[in-house]
Amino acid sequence: MDKLSKIKKLNAQLLAEMPDLKIGEIPDNLNSQRKLLRALMNVRPPMPLDENFLKLQDEILTAEKLERGVVKISEIPDATKNIKIWQGDITRLEVDAIVNAANSALLGCFIPLHGCIDNAIHSAAGLQLRDACNKISNGNEPTGKAKITPAFNLPCKFVIHTVGPIIYGEKPTPAEENLLASCYESCLKLAVEKNLKSIAFCCISTGEFHFPNKRAAEIAVATVKKFLEQNNLCVVFNVFKNLDAEIYKELLC
């Protein structure tokens, strides 16, 4: 069975699971059908997972992981002792854990094809990740805390989920800054508790949650440096935008 046939089979099963879902006519080509698959995975609520579905899904996601290319932590140069900066797609990193900037439901992004990191991580990991999150979520996770799940089809071993503060004003309050610091500290403590050796942070709260990029980076770097004074852990600051790359280089290099 070729990739298009596999994807169409998965799409048919997802649509059968969600009969009230209305979609228009989708072109019968690989790109369109693959986008439909991601969109359907994004909106599928937690429910029992079919083993045959997961086998096909995992085959596709594993092949795509290899196509994107896996980045080993040993390939990333140090910015300073035990701290690295890497610009790119966090779902490519082969570290012990990557950090997901989650929403308070902790179930991933339900907006089809949305560009947030939560959507990207869940889409690359597979439906198992939403199921695992559903088992540990209380439905309204507190800001600044962290929980851990397996990573499934990602090259990392685990995903650490943390809910960052949402900024509504022109600049964050001291309380909101403390909550962001707590996100980093909670993830770091959880990584050490689980005997992990490496962790990659995204830029928590700087996207959809509107935390100013420079101030967020300052808090992240200060929190990580303080933690590493007493703990042995390799930390990667994963950035996607050029703006964040320049900010972290200025702070660390």
> DSSP string covering 181-212, please?
HHHHHHHHHHHHHTT-SEEEE--TTSSTT---
**What is the C-alpha separation between 238 and 220, in angstroms, rounded?**
12
pLDDT value of position 62: 98
Contact between residue 183 and residue 201 where contact means Cβ atoms under 8 Å apart: no
Under 8 Å CB-to-CB from 178, ≥6 apart: which residues?
Answer: 144
Task: Report which of 180, 162, 177, 182 is spatially closest to residue 101, judged by C-alpha positions.
Answer: 162
**Residues in the chain, how many?**
253
Measured in Å, how far apart are the chain's first and last C-alpha atoms?
Answer: 49
Which strands, in side-by-side order, build the sheet including 234-239? Answer: 78-80, 83-87, 234-239, 198-201, 97-102, 158-163, 146-150
What is residue 93's three-state secondary structure?
A: strand
The stretches in the chain having pLDDT less than 70 are none
pLDDT value of position 170: 82
Contact between residue 191 and residue 160 where contact means Cβ atoms under 8 Å apart: yes
pLDDT value of position 1: 84
Question: What's the pTM?
Answer: 0.96
Burial of 122 (0-12, 13-18, 19+ CB in 10 A): buried
